[in-house]
């Protein structure tokens, strides 16, 4: 069979980190091992009942058998605007400041192609969500990695970015609550970001995937809540984490009209929008009761407390995340992130994601999700304890 070589652009794409991790888990499960997967990033809870009912009703409507409008239903964009007004006090024009995405990831990958040319630079967090890199490769643009370190609360230090980089920088990715570190941003950081973006003519992309998950009574801040944010960029909001609609592939970009227009243009050429039934379900999610969202946030906090206290009790000194459904855990001395994650998989049948999958500055950490039941989390802690790694560290 003749083999055709993929384009240079495809060959430049980074290795799909999550696909590689998923294959490791699948191979271990095929061996009949009882795997506790804390390495995943997909919610373990079902979509809320009233959202499913909206989809079922929409499936019986023949209107949804037809192509939807390229920009999506006006009703879905209006529901998103109502959601932002209710939750964050942010006023948005549904026609010019909101667009539908086929999942938040699609928007994040499309944006560099919308705004960058070869030779342009995007400022990218390290560690950070690996699919930021995919969009950069497809755009043929360059990345400047911004280290996120614990000493600076996992926030980038804009003053450390070299002047020659700033001359070519056109895009800035930030993400709070943060994946993978679980850090939160405050108003002062967003104000600094707006000032920085204005000074250097940079467009800000705030990935707000975990906007519904904050702990210890702290509600995550939308970038658009801060004065001047809309003039400097946009925010990406996904239905995947708030409403567990990960497999439904729907999200929204909100904010600066020129960026929204660029997204609309590229999506006109790539897609024919999204099935109308899913748009109706998203509308029901935004406008319907939010009590399940609040209960879910409390569930994640309870899981967080169980995991962090349990690991500290066995001698693994770790800190609690402020938000998201991830915890960012330092590995034992003398181990790399990859070595330690392999050890937990092979010896304890517990999966965590090695920090290096999120960038060079992820070394020294693993990411563990709060995406298993309390019973399974307790079992994972017991298995790790039986390895006796941390007891030895404490005793030494």
- What is the number of structural domains in the chain? 2
What is the per-residue pLDDT for 26? 85
Could you read off the pLDDT of 342-367 as tens digits, one per residue? 999 999 999 999 999 999 999 999 99
In a domain, 1, yes or no: no
What is the per-residue pLDDT for 210? 98
Residue with tokens 């000032």, as numbered in its chain: 195
Indicate whether 41 and 141 sit together in one domain: no
In a domain, 197, yes or no: yes
Instruction: Tell me how far apart the alpha carbons of residues 225 and 89 are, in angstroms, rounded to a whole number.
Output: 7
Indicate whether 318 and 357 sit together in one domain: yes
What is the per-residue pLDDT for 396? 46
Indicate whether 243 and 276 sit together in one domain: yes
In a domain, 2, yes or no: no
- 257 — alpha (psi -120 to 50), left (phi > 0) or beta? alpha
Indicate whether 167 and 278 sit together in one domain: yes
pTM above 0.75, yes or no: yes
What is the CATH number for 346? 3.90.1150.10
Indicate whether 26 and 68 sit together in one domain: no
Give the mean pLDDT of 174-181. 98
Instruction: Tell me how far apart the alpha carbons of residues 262 and 269 are, in angstroms, rounded to a whole number.
Output: 11
What is the CATH number for 149? 3.40.640.10
Is residue 25 over pLDDT 90? no
In a domain, 79, yes or no: yes
What is the per-residue pLDDT for 205? 98
Is residue 394 over pLDDT 60? no
Residue 184 pLDDT class (50, 70, 90 cuts): very high
Q: Are strands 121-126 and 142-147 parallel, antiparallel or unpaired?
A: parallel
Among residues 262, 287, 312, the one where a domain terminates is: 287
Residue 105 belongs to domain spanning: 49-287
Both tokens of 122, joined, read 């995007």
Among residues 268, 287, 306, the one where a domain terminates is: 287
Indicate whether 255 and 276 sit together in one domain: yes
What is the per-residue pLDDT for 213? 98
Given a contact cutoff of 8 angstroms between Cβ atoms, the answer to whether 160 and 149 are in contact is no
Indicate whether 34 and 104 sit together in one domain: no
In a domain, 16, yes or no: yes
Indicate whether 84 and 200 sit together in one domain: yes
């Amino acid at each position: 069979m003749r083999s055709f070589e993929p384009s240079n652009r495809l060959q430049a794409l980074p290795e799909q980190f999550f696909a590689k991790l998923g294959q490791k888990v699948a191979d271990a499960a095929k061996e009949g091992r009882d795997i506790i997967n804390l390495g995943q990033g997909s919610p373990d809870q079902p979509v809320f009942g009233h959202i499913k009912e909206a989809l079922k009703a929409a499936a019986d409507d023949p209107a949804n058998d037809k192509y939807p409008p390229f920009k999506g239903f006006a009703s879905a964009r209006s529901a998103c605007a109502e959601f932002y007004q209710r939750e964050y006090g942010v006023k948005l024009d549904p026609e010019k400041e909101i667009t539908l995405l086929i999942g938040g990831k699609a928007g994040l990958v499309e944006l560099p192609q919308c705004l960058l040319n070869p030779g342009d630079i995007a400022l990218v967090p390290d560690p950070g969500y690996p699919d930021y890199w995919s969009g950069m490769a497809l755009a043929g643009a360059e990345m400047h990695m911004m280290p996120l370190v614990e000493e600076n609360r996992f926030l980038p230090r804009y003053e450390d970015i070299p002047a020659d980089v700033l001359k070519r920088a056109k895009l800035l990715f930030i993400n709070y609550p943060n994946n993978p570190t679980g850090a939160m941003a405050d108003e002062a950081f967003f104000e600094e970001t707006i000032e920085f973006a204005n000074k250097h003519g940079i467009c800000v992309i705030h990935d707000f995937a975990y906007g519904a998950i904050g702990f210890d009574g702290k509600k995550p801040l939308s970038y658009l809540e801060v004065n001047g944010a809309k003039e400097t960029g946009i925010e990406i909001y996904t239905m995947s984490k708030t409403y567990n609609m990960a497999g439904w592939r729907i999200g929204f970009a909100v904010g600066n009209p020129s960026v929204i227009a660029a997204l609309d243009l590229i999506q006109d050429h790539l897609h024919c929008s999204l099935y109308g039934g899913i748009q109706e379900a998203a509308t029901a999610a935004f406008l319907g009761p939010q009590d399940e969202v609040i209960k879910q946030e409390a569930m994640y906090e309870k899981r967080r407390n169980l995991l962090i206290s349990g690991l500290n009790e066995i001698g693994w000194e770790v800190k609690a995340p402020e938000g998201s459904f991830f915890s960012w855990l330092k590995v034992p001395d003398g181990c790399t992130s990859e070595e330690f994650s392999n050890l937990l998989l092979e010896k304890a049948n517990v999966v965590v994601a090695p920090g290096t999958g999120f960038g060079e500055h992820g070394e020294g950490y693993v990411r563990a999700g709060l995406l298993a039941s309390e019973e399974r989390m307790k079992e994972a802690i017991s298995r790790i304890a039986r390895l006796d790694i941390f007891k030895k560290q404490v005793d030494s």
